Amino acid sequence: MESREYRKNKTTELFHNLDKVIYVFSGMNFWIDDNDIPKLVFNAYKRISKVINVAIVLFMMAEIGSFFTQNNLTEKQKYDRVFMPFAHIILYSFTLSLSHHKETVTEILFTLAVCLKEDFNDEETERVMLKRIRIYVSAFVVICLNALVFYGIEGLAQVLFSDGTFVTMITIWPEVHDQSLLAGVGRVGIYVLWWLWMLRVTTAFLIVLPVTISLSHQYMNLQVYFTSIAGIFDERISQSEKEEKFERALKLGVRLHATTIWCAQQVQRTCGNVFSGHIIVNIGVLVLLMSQFKNSDRALSHVLPIVATFASMLFSTGVIMLSAGDITVEAGNLPTAIFQSGWQNCTNQSSYRIRRLILIAMAQSQKPVIMKSCGVIELSYQSYLSIVNTSYSIFSVLY
């Protein structure tokens, strides 16, 4: 990827730092430069990353193979064997999908961080956006990784207090009750591969969350812009100069809005699989986790992984749906901001041109901007509650 010259700002700095984390986790680079990594290190890590990807694929295949080799399982382990391979394959596909759309994702990030901020950037809106991205991303990573930590604690508790084995994942080998040294080393290796899988999957959300949050705040930025150009008519210049300046500013706003619409369309195209797959996994896993909790022996070491996984699924889905839903809300507020841009201060022939332009701009801004999952489910707070209720309803019917 060739680096491109651009004017740096706080948003580009954040995206640049996030991309460094993404590169360490996955070996992929979504920003427009090379993160100042020496070429020798870059090429070496790229080869290592390919080996890790192959190992992760084999790890998921080993999970599926456990249906044919693992027969002496506890109820909890049976539940894990059902929902883990299902969830892992779908979630890992997110990284493949974003990798396929890598160039488009890079262009979206560059447009949101650089192109749309060159002509107008409200510093307060940017400050709120950056704070929200940092909080959401940090909380997401911590909560999701907690699930793996608690599964490790459960496995360790089985070894220390129950004379069992360190079983975190059910794979084709080793057999769950095999206490040989080789089997123990194999289980530790499987746990490490699970962590590598999680880090790969996390990179997908390190892209989706900042993009959706940035897009919703770009609509807020446009609202500030359109309301601010009304101040042109308070300047100490002639009426004709005010009208000319206002017309130029209004045309710029329309262009910025058109670019923002393009970003929204590309986010739906590139992140749509992530939205859809995550909701499908959410419903299926929540139902299985509730069933698992109902039938578990309520021992703390058994309950913690279930609760941690349940919390991570609820939180991750909630954050994604609320961030995407904010795009719809902020885009819906844009027509009001355009109407309050001060167009009524124009006179004579200028008024006719401006009114036509305002009419076109408002008509375009009134078209709903909706991020969807599975092509039909609108991502919003109401949809999130519906999904949680649906999961519980399915559980109630089945159990």
The model's pLDDT over 233-260, given as tens digits with 9 standing for 90+, comes to 999 999 999 999 999 999 999 999 999 9
Indicate whether 23 belongs to any domain: yes
- State yes or no: pLDDT of 399 exceeds 70: no
Rounded Cα gap, residues 191 and 350, in angstroms = 69
Indicate whether 2 belongs to any domain: no
Query: Considering only CA atoms, which of 304, 374, 390, 355 is closest in space to residue 382?
Result: 390
Query: Considering only CA atoms, which of 11, 182, 201 is closest in space to residue 89?
Result: 201
Residue-level pLDDT at 207: 95
Percent of the chain scoring above 90 in pLDDT: 65
Q: Which domain holds residue 255?
A: 10-398
- State yes or no: pLDDT of 212 exceeds 80: yes
* Section 141-170 average pLDDT: 89
Rounded Cα gap, residues 215 and 209, in angstroms = 10
Residue-level pLDDT at 76: 81
The model's pLDDT over 310-351, given as tens digits with 9 standing for 90+, comes to 888 888 888 999 999 999 999 999 999 999 999 999 988 889
- Structural domains of the chain, count: 1
Between 342 and 385, the higher pLDDT residue: 342
- State yes or no: pLDDT of 47 exceeds 60: yes
Between 299 and 210, the higher pLDDT residue: 210
Do 148 and 250 contact (CB within 8 A), yes or no?
no
Residue-level pLDDT at 294: 76
Indicate whether 340 belongs to any domain: yes
Question: Which pLDDT band, with edges at 50, 70 and 90, does 38 fall under?
Answer: confident
Residue-level pLDDT at 127: 97
Neighbour count for residue 339 (Cβ, 10 Å) = 16
* Section 30-51 average pLDDT: 83
- State yes or no: pLDDT of 2 exceeds 60: no
Indicate whether 3 belongs to any domain: no
The model's pLDDT over 269-285, given as tens digits with 9 standing for 90+, comes to 999 999 999 888 888 88
Between 155 and 288, the higher pLDDT residue: 155
The model's pLDDT over 166-210, given as tens digits with 9 standing for 90+, comes to 999 999 999 999 999 999 999 999 999 999 999 999 999 999 999
Strand partners, 372: 378
Contacts of 82 (CB under 8 A, 6+ apart): 288
Indicate whether 286 belongs to any domain: yes
